[in-house]
Structure 1
């Protein structure tokens, strides 16, 4: 079992714009069967975790588009706010130390991998606790100049794989440790 922060970023290191928008990402061409594709990644995932902003974006997006919850595995949302759930989704709200959440996720995942969906601060908390094994990035040919950063703390990474998928430069990094 490994814990991965699988995400997209701009060349200048932002995972969302200043208004938490993802228009820069959703307009980029990508090969669903290409290197480091979402379909290849998600098949090995047994539990996910996200922060409040990511959860609210997903919830708002599926409500606006009339879609269903995207995930068929348990999902944890780390938040201090009281948020509404999503009908038919296994969403569990938590607060506190990511170590406790990681242990609950690992148990629920039944030996499958764990995915830190977002955001960058949450992924950095998992990394700081020594619980983030890898970072898989799809790097878009876009700059934003400001927004939500990829990571909020300094870490050393080791490149273990790279490729091109549509407009994205894809890279898999092992999380070495805090800088």
Structure 2
């Protein structure tokens, strides 16, 4: 079965983006393991809000990957050969995990991450914590008192910039 990996960055206070969706605070001075991680995945999953944000960055970064955008309102295929998934998310993910291929990257956003956490679909979390406090924004984990998940810490890597990257596996 293919692994679904959430590879994501957050501020020290747990935000993945500003309220506007802006990620201008993310460090871009180093690779921080992104190139190695990107090479191990062949499929990318994201929510529609995240997809729209990615489109605003300029050149589309996932041309060489199979991309699925989870949306309740959009359907069909985009100009970037990304496909919208707008119904029966559970069976789609189960089938995708059983299909042939490398690992699957869950890019975001917060609502889709919450759905994947609720359903137990995330196998690993690679979290890069940037040494910045934003004070507000889009949280990594949606506030849900019913969501309690134990993780196993597998690896911690620190960088001179103050960024800390942790690899967790889900029980």
User: What's the TM-score bracket when you normalise by the shorter of the two chains?
Assistant: 0.7 to 0.9
Q: 1:70 aligns with which of 40, 57, 62?
A: 62
How many residues of Structure 1 are paired with residues of Structure 2 in the alignment? 165
Q: How far did 1:18 drift?
A: 1.0
Q: 1:157 aligns with which of 135, 151, 154?
A: 151
1:128-160 alpha-carbon deviations (Å, 9 max, x no partner): 212110110110011111111111243322211
Q: 1:45 aligns with which of 22, 41, 44?
A: 41
For residues 22-41 of structure 1, the aligned pairs below 5 Å read 22-25=23-26, 28-32=27-31, 34=32, 37-41=33-37
1:28-70 alpha-carbon deviations (Å, 9 max, x no partner): 25432x5xx11110111121110111000011222xxxx2443
5-14 vs 74-83, which deviates more? 74-83
When normalised by structure 2's length, the TM-score is: 0.85
For residues 55-134 of structure 1, the aligned pairs below 5 Å read 55-62=51-58, 67-82=59-74, 86-87=78-79, 89-106=80-97, 110-134=100-124
Gaps of 5+ in 2: none
- Paired residues of 1:29 and 1:166 also in contact (CA < 8 A): no
- Paired residues of 1:30 and 1:166 also in contact (CA < 8 A): no
Give RMSD over aligned pairs: 2.1
1:101-137 alpha-carbon deviations (Å, 9 max, x no partner): 31353366x3300110001221221122121101101
1:59-84 alpha-carbon deviations (Å, 9 max, x no partner): 1222xxxx244341111111123379
Structure 1 match to 2:21: 20
Gaps of 5+ in 1: none
Give runs of ≥4 in structure 1 deviating > 6 Å.
none
- CA 1:140/1:71 → structure 2, altered by over 3 Å: closer, same or farther? farther
Greater helix share, structure number: 1
When normalised by structure 1's length, the TM-score is: 0.82
